[in-house]
Chain A
Amino acid sequence: MVTDDAGQGGTAAGRNNNTGHQGGAGHSMVQLITPAGERVSHPEYDPWLKDVSDEQLCSLYEDLVVIRRIDKEATALQRQGELGLWPPLLGQEASQVGSVRALREDDFIFPSYRENGVAYCRGVDLADILRVWRGAASGGWDPYTVNMAIPQIVIGAQTLHATGYAMGIQNDGADSAAIVYFGDGATSEGDVNEAMVFAASFQVPLVFFCQNNHWAISEPVRVQSHTQLVDRGTGFGIPSMRVDGNDVLAVMAATRVALDRARRGGGPTFIEAVTYRMGPHTTADDPTRYRDANELEDWAAKDPIGRVHALLDRKGLFTEEFETGVRTKADAVARELRAGCIGMPDPEPLDVFKHVYSTPNSWLDRQQDHYSRYLATFGDPEAATQEEGAR
């Protein structure tokens, strides 16, 4: 049992944390695994992890490693011109794994564009994860087969969708819940604030999961908020928690608390997962223009994978056999990801006209007819595409 392993009593909350420039009431930050890999006990959160066996801890580790590998491989694919763009999640693995693994299959996820680790854990097909970034589709997967909405690029818009979905759950009298992911920057958008107003008013079964990775492209979190982000939730009357987002167990426990509240009719919860974006915002971004290198170094010392590694080591679980197994798995996933990307068929020219409406539309039918006649003047439509310098 993980919880028996604490070694020391007392509180957890790493007060130490990060660039704590933000003022506010000072929610302490829940931490259950220290950066050195010590398991710290916490009377309030430990009961939520009673079922986490050694085996599960190992599989959490595997997910963290595989997701980092996916991220690395996708970044490489972008550099090789196979993807148009990629938003790395380097450093945010624990926030994503800990939260998504607390969910039941019937819970519904509303992601931003950065929750590719969540998508992997949810069972989204690897090629589907890349589809949008390759420019081969606007949405990557069928939301209803994995209970996860398609990626959202408009900052914060998905928080309202999640609130509405949760209103639906409530009307249906179901005991499932919804979770919505967004960044620190997103908390400034009107949509996110309106979502919190609605969610609190109607006490819907929803978890607001804010990954505070400290940067919104070039803007540090202090541009967005003069208080800790966790106070945002509190201000709307939503019970709120601040957890170490690089600590997979703290995140998992907090998400379980929130989901349990949602299922019991206790309404929404706001979770601020304090983490750090170690890479660029996207592959098109250059963080050296705005970010101090020392900051990155400080955060690398709090790496979400390193600390689980250390914990497993302390418990004698990090055997050579285990390590080889994880590496083999990561290699296999990376190979499959690459193959799925490169093997993805290109869309057809007339796909441009597909799915605009659910039934035929005479305006569009006419445009499609005219365009196919135009393509026909080139003989081979593929040739026309080449001529225009298509990628």
Chain B
Amino acid sequence: MTQMTFARAINSGLRRSLDNDPKVVLLGEDIGALGGVFRVTDGLQKDFGKHRVVDTPLAESGIVGTAVGLAYRGYRPVVEIQFDGFVYPAFDQIVSQVAKMHYRSRGTVKMPITIRIPFGGGIGSPEHHSESPEAYFAHTAGLRVVTPASPQDAHTMIQQAISCDDPVVFFEPKRRYHDKGEVDESLDPNSAPPMGQARVVTDGSDVTLVAYGPLVKTARDAATAAADEGVSVEVIDLRSLAPVDFATVEASVRKTGRLVITHEAGQSGGLGAEVAASITERCFYHLEAAPVRVTGFDVPYPYSKVEMHHLPNLDRILDGVDRALGRPNSLSGLEG
């Protein structure tokens, strides 16, 4: 076990994948000498060379489109999109080509492409640098969408994503890049929990609180704070956003009877809506209250002076927990 940051854990996972499989290639803007703007690829070009770790021209559609060609040729490209807000120039290649190629070729062409995207807010950046675009991708059949929430998960999940024969959109919670945790670098990714599986982070019996990526830590803190008030919150880290491991969420909600879902992305059409609807279908007779969503607002990601109002924080999550429990909360007395 080694203490390392989230960013370092991904770096170490990438290194192992590059070591283990000569077909793994990294592509992206500034990933070479600079090591990426977040230093996630630090040192990799130096050790693996310019053909394995490629500084590409400044063209996102180009990066993903050429990854498609490399995959056709039997490679396993891992592309870095510098920030969430810059994935859109590549959106067409991702949803029209990467996602559909396996289906269109009746399973003959594999697209083992990993698309790494630092995502989410809370770092005081200008516009386009703090978005949560996961729902666009989760809505696209053929893509797997995952997001780790701890350094250990980041380390194993990046290796699982790279060895997966399906394309994986790999969202990295950028405001957690510097968070440290224990990582077992020798852990065999094949024996670790699969990246498609949700994880119960904190056991509880009163409310199920579903989070992913950057908000898992906030959710855990909220559970600790709730425990001080005598409320037992079970926190689930979704890990995979497409497909969602509903079985794990379902088992928890059958036990607690209450569901709160939190994410930074805007509410309408978000992952929270999917989880609420699917769990309601599966557990209608076990639910004691309507599922509650605590999310960002349906606004463009706001400028940094007010971003803390947009982002769900510990207090807003606890307010949501109170709503699910029918305890006094900010909406008490309102109907619907």
Contact = CB atoms under 8 A, between A and B. Distances in A.
Interface of A: 84-85, 113, 132-138, 153-155, 185-186, 188-191, 216-219, 223-224, 284, 289-290, 346-349, 351-353, 356, 363-364, 367-368, 370-371, 373-374, 376-377, 384-385, 387-391
B306 A349 contact: yes
B85 A188 contact: no
B35 A289 contact: yes
Given A135-B305, A217-B29, A367-B267, 19 more contacts: A85-B125, A136-B303, A136-B305, A138-B127, A154-B128, A155-B58, A186-B58, A188-B57, A188-B59, A189-B59, A189-B89, A219-B29, A223-B55, A289-B33, A289-B34, A290-B34, A349-B306, A351-B306, A387-B315
A295 to B, nearest CB: 14
Contact of B319 (A223, A224, A349, A377): A377
A135 B319 contact: no
A369 to B, nearest CB: 9
Contacts of A389: 308
Contacts of A368: 297
A135 B309 contact: no
A42 B314 CA distance: 67
Nearest to B60: A189
Contacts of A346: 305
A346 B87 CA distance: 30
A356 B304 contact: no
Contacts of A373: 330-331, 334
Contact of B308 (A84, A153, A356, A385): A385
Given A353-B299, A363-B298, A385-B308, A185 B330 contact: no
B263 to A, nearest CB: 14
A134 B298 contact: no
Contacts of B246: none
Nearest to A188: B57
B32 interface: yes
Given A133-B126, A349-B306, A374 B58 contact: no
B176 interface: no
Main secondary structure of the interface of B (DSSP, over half): loop
Contacts of B297: 352-353, 364, 367-368, 371
B147 to A, nearest CB: 23
A389 B308 CA distance: 9
A374 B331 CA distance: 7
A364 B29 contact: no
Nearest to A134: B305
Given A188-B57, A216-B58, A371 B319 contact: no
A218 B300 contact: no
A237 B62 CA distance: 23
Given A134-B305, A356-B298, A218 B125 contact: no
Given A136-B305, A218-B34, A347-B305, A153 B126 contact: yes
Given A188-B59, A190-B61, A223-B57, A135 B33 contact: no
Interface in B226-270: 267-268
A136 B56 CA distance: 33
Contacts of B309: 349, 352, 371, 385
Interface string B80-124: 000001101100000000000000000000000000000000001
Contact-size category for B: 35 or more
| Most A C-beta atoms less than 10 A away, residue of B268, B306, B330 | B306
Contacts of B60: 189
A374 B319 contact: yes
B220 interface: no
Given A132-B126, A356-B300, A218 B30 contact: yes
Contact of A374 (B29, B56, B128, B316): B316
B208 interface: no
A227 to B, nearest CB: 13
A218 B33 contact: yes
A135 B59 CA distance: 27
B213 interface: no
B264 to A, nearest CB: 13
A153 B128 contact: yes
A156 to B, nearest CB: 8
Contacts of A384: 315
Contact of B62 (A84, A188, A348, A370): A188
Given A352-B309, A363-B268, A138 B37 contact: no
Nearest to B35: A289
A376 B86 CA distance: 36
Contacts of B57: 185, 188, 219, 223-224
B303 A191 contact: no
A138 B130 CA distance: 13
Contacts of B310: 352
Contact of A391 (B86, B124, B126): B124
B17 interface: no
Contacts of A217: 29-30, 34, 37
A104 B300 CA distance: 34
Given A363-B298, A376-B330, A347 B306 contact: yes
A134 B306 CA distance: 11
Q: Which A-B residue pairs are the 4 nearest by beta carbons?
A: A135-B304, A218-B34, A188-B57, A185-B58
20 contacts: A84-B304, A132-B126, A137-B303, A138-B127, A153-B129, A155-B58, A189-B58, A189-B60, A191-B89, A216-B58, A217-B34, A224-B57, A290-B34, A352-B299, A364-B298, A370-B331, A373-B331, A376-B330, A389-B308, A390-B305
